[in-house]
Amino acid sequence: MTVPFKLVSPAKLIFEGEAELVIAVTTEGEEGILPRHAPFLAALKPGLLRANIVENGASRRLELATGDGFMQALPDRVTVLVDRAVTFEEVDVAQTRAELAEASDPAAAAFARAKLQLTGHH
Amino acid sequence: MASVKDLRDRIRSLKNTQQITKAMKQVAAAKIRRAEAAQKQARPYADALGEMLQDLIATASRIDNPFMNPGKAGAPSGVILMTSDKGLAGAFNSNVIREAERYRQQQSGAHLYTVGIKARNAVRRWGLGDRPAWPLNAPSKLQTAHEVARQVAADFTSGEIGDITLISSKHVSMMSQRPEVRRLVPIERKTAAPKQKGPRGWVEIPPSAEFVLSKLLPKYLEFTIFSAMLETDAAFYAAQLLAMNNATENAGKLIDELTIAMNNARQAAITKELLEIVSGAEALTGT
């Protein structure tokens, strides 16, 4: 069973399709959403967003490092809003380490940590 | 009457001007497409954000967020004045700036924050000193919007300003851009929740609707500023396209007029020379 899932940033629609499971890091901790979840709305902190998505009948894992955001689950759809999101391929580990070292803004530091976590370098 | 040589020089210089305006018109046409695409890309986010806000406000039993309450009484209005960085777009920027001047007089003074170099220059001309200023076209508009929102939100909560108002251009159509004054904060319940499709019933909002709202409202402010920046961009290029199109046409008209004047002058000179020759010959044979 799947649920329509949408991941958007102000710059673009990152993903729109069907998902079996969506896991995001809310301010209260990790939250997994399955299809037909009761209405739910929470703020997200920078962290990993993981989803099992179904494309052309095949199940695939979607993993992104995301910035601040919000997640809304309704029985018939899941929407995640984030400031920014990067995939594993987009992370430059050396550069991210530098960002983390220089970051004065806690949100920027948390996002840099999320990126390192995505690459397994934390 | 100007000589043929003078006229020819003027025509040549006008043709150069026309080439420049024509090139700028083509560049504007290409950029407007990109600006409008960026606006379209931001729409899904806007829709989703609006919907979440609506849900939250419907669910929260009692809203006690500073952004939804009136600001400090007697504090000046906080105005974000947004223009483009560059000119050559007709009255595009001056319309917005004039609107801001009018607003400032109505409110008898306002705290200004500027986005766009033209806005910053205007505020300096008014003799208001150095107000916080950001360029419209930074590498990341999102980052700029984030900084602007953080600054105005901090000044609003500290009571330095009594509201947050945005004065920017509305991109009505390719032919028309209009300055628009929008009150961003305090957010009215009505504007935040336009169409209530009936409550969704119970919604789980950890830890509380209040808390999520306190996160969402600053984001809403930030995103509104971001989308106004995208709109200003699109409107600017539309205005520039129109202005450069007019300039190209006007140059063409002038070239036509001057060409006729030049032909007349040349013909007059030839006629005069012929007359001199003929009358000289007449004078010789006549006697």
> Per residue, what are the HEC states of chain A?
CCEEEEEECCCCEEEEEEEEEEEEEECCEEEEECCCCCCEEEEECCEEEEEEEEECCEEEEEEEEECCEEEEEECCEEEEEECCEEEHHHCCHHHHHHHHHHCCCHHHHHHHHHHHHHHCCC
Q: What is the residue-averaged pLDDT of chain B? A: 89
Alpha carbon distance A69, B144 (integer Å): 18
The reply to whether residue A10 touches residue B206, judged by beta carbons under 8 angstroms, is no
Percent of chain B beyond pLDDT 90? 70
Partner B contacted by A1 (CB < 8 A):
no
Distances (CA, A) of B75 to A58, B79, B87, B111, B269: 59, 12, 33, 9, 74
- Which stretch of B171-175, B206-210, B271-275, B283-287 has the lowest confidence by average pLDDT? B283-287
Taking the whole predicted model, whether its pTM rises above 0.90 is answered as: no
Closest-CA distance, A69 to chain B, in angstroms, reads: 9
- Length reported for chain B: 287
Q: Collapse the DSSP code of B211 into the 3-class scheme (helix H, G, I; strand E, B; otherwise coil) and give the result.
A: helix
Report the Cα–Cα distance between both ends of chain A, in Å, rounded.
Answer: 34
What percent of chain B lies above the pLDDT cut of 70? 93
* Token representation of residue B4: 């043929």
Chain A residues closer than 8 Å to B224 by CB: none
Distance, in Å, from the CA atom of B76 to the CA atom of B195, rounded to the nearest integer, reads 32
CB pairs under 8 A between A and B: 74
pLDDT value at A121 more than 90:
no
**Is residue B198 pLDDT above 70, yes or no?**
no
Which of A9, A40, A43 is nearest residue B45 as measured by Cβ atoms?
Answer: A9
CB B40 within 8 A of CB A13: no
Torsion of CA A72, A74, A77, A79, to 10 degrees: 0
CA distance A120 to chain B (A): 27
Higher pLDDT, B249 or B209: B249
Q: If interface means Cβ-Cβ distance under 8 Å, which residues of chain B face chain A?
A: 38, 41-42, 44-45, 48-49, 51-52, 55-56, 59, 142, 200-207, 211-212, 215-216, 219, 223, 226-227
Shortest CA gap B253–chain A (Å):
43
Q: What integer is the mean pLDDT of B103-109?
A: 88
What is the strand order of the sheet B163-173 is part of?
Answer: B133-134, B110-115, B77-82, B163-173, B176-185
Which of A12, A41, A83 is opposite residue B55, by nearest beta carbon? A41
B19-39 pLDDT per residue, tens = 999 999 999 999 999 999 999
Q: What is the pLDDT of residues A49-103, one digit of tens each?
A: 999 999 888 999 999 999 999 999 998 999 999 999 999 888 888 888 888 888 8
Section B214-238 average pLDDT: 94
Can you tell me the ipTM of this complex? 0.88
**Closest by alpha carbon to B148, among B70, B81, B103, B245?**
B81
What per-residue confidence (pLDDT) applies to B38? 93
Tens of pLDDT, residue by residue over A11-22, are 889 999 999 999
Is the per-residue pLDDT at A37 higher than 80? yes
